[in-house]
Structure 1
């Protein structure tokens, strides 16, 4: 792990350590809701989520637990141990079966050809350059042929400022080339809060790519 990677992981861990344990809405982490992302609910409702599911960058588990409550088999991964502790505690309180594991999303070799669906609600936009390429290659490795990857990322029309990378259509198209077919790429919104702002609908992209 490089110094930069370590700093990023330490940042997310420090944010989650400041979270209350009662699942309060937004709290310290603007991306951490006490409910699933509306886009995840929408995708599940139209049958776009099926089979063995990976929630990449699951945080405290709201998306994974929503899907588990709907009868899906879900594995959530995150690099922040405290986030995973919150997720496991929520699962226990709600009586839900979901697997949560600490992992670097850029190395998913232990999950080779395991998943039929991936949801990424705000992870890709935290990576850039080589890290982003490694992450997408790791998703390809972890997916079975025909698997769908659903990416939700802050868009280039979101207000400028600190926080995640604002992704353009070109960023996304160039990220999913060899080994993928892009089936959906449209503007949407994500629920959350950018640094210093209130909870709101943030301009975002929804991309669905199909693994060859």
Structure 2
């Protein structure tokens, strides 16, 4: 997640955690499996890959502990990944979370996410939004105009996923539906209060879940299987 006051690292014998003001944990990484998507909603967000299984360019707003950035860098080798993070202190801690250094495929920029997005029209096959500050989702990342910019930043068949936590979920979903002409699904995260919104351009025609998983590297399949199946079930319900 993004932004906050006094970003710092807390270590336990099992985890490395990114915390902000008030000792609220924003990101948790397993010390034994640092490349794994440890928190459930991050896996659910990447269920969006079922709708666009081979993204060539990925945009991420909110670096946080870099779980999804690391996953995409490791398991989607054909993708270029651009990350916007507005807190320089968070970026300075990237080594603590084993986030790779910038290279030909990965670029992390310290920039306001809303302004950054407006400069990337039609760029992304996959857009991931997981940006928070001490007050929750920043106002600039909550407006109708912002969600219009999200849709404009996607390619003709692009897909986005957004983490909705501690916020007015219905208001965000209403704006997303206006921006994406109703092409939005909501997934409740089991045993968590997070909701994940997935929205898309065009007319995706996703194949069978098992086939989509088989096209991914072995290390990604087990992490995304449950999310793919839940998204597929929601897709089928919406189609009735």
TM-score interval (norm. to shorter)? 0.5 to 0.7
1:18-33 correspondence to structure 2 within 5 Å: 18-19=8-9, 24-25=16-17, 27=19, 28-33=23-28
Once the 2 structures are TM-superposed, how far is the Cα of residue 55 of structure 1 from its aligned partner? Answer: 1.2
160, 165, 180: which is aligned to 2:167? 165
For residues 104 and 141 of structure 2, what CA distance do their matches in structure 1 show? Answer: 36
Any unmatched runs of 5+ in structure 2? 30-35, 203-240
2:225 maps to which residue?
none
For residues 119 and 85 of structure 2, what CA distance do their matches in structure 1 show? Answer: 14
For residues 148 and 87 of structure 1, what CA distance do their matches in structure 2 show? Answer: 26
2:62 maps to which residue?
57
Backbone CA RMSD of aligned residues: 3.5
2:154 aligned with 1:149: no
The CA deviation string for residues 14-49 of structure 1, in whole angstroms up to 9 with x for no partner, is: 232x235998135445221225323245444x4645
2:120 maps to which residue?
111
Greater mean alpha carbon deviation, residues 106-115 or residues 132-141: 132-141
Using CA pairs below 8 Å that are at least 6 residues apart, which structure has the higher relative contact order?
2
1:61-140 correspondence to structure 2 within 5 Å: 61-70=66-75, 71=77, 72-87=79-94, 90-92=98-100, 97-107=105-115, 108-121=117-130, 123=132, 126-128=137-139, 131-140=142-151
The alignment's TM-score, normalised by the length of structure 2, stands at 0.60
| Pair 166,30 (structure 1): closer, same or farther in 2 beyond 3 Å | farther
| Pair 171,110 (structure 1): closer, same or farther in 2 beyond 3 Å | closer
Once the 2 structures are TM-superposed, how far is the Cα of residue 178 of structure 1 from its aligned partner? Answer: 3.8
Greater mean alpha carbon deviation, residues 47-56 or residues 20-29: 20-29
* 1:87 and 1:100 in contact (8 A); partners too: no
Once the 2 structures are TM-superposed, how far is the Cα of residue 54 of structure 1 from its aligned partner? Answer: 0.8
Secondary structure of the 2:167 match is coil
The CA deviation string for residues 26-84 of structure 1, in whole angstroms up to 9 with x for no partner, is: 5445221225323245444x464522111111223221111110023211111111212
Secondary structure of the 2:81 match is strand
| Pair 177,41 (structure 1): closer, same or farther in 2 beyond 3 Å | closer
Secondary structure of the 1:150 match is strand
The alignment's TM-score, normalised by the length of structure 1, stands at 0.67
2:195 maps to which residue?
205
For residues 129 and 54 of structure 1, what CA distance do their matches in structure 2 show? Answer: 17
Number of residue equivalences: 179
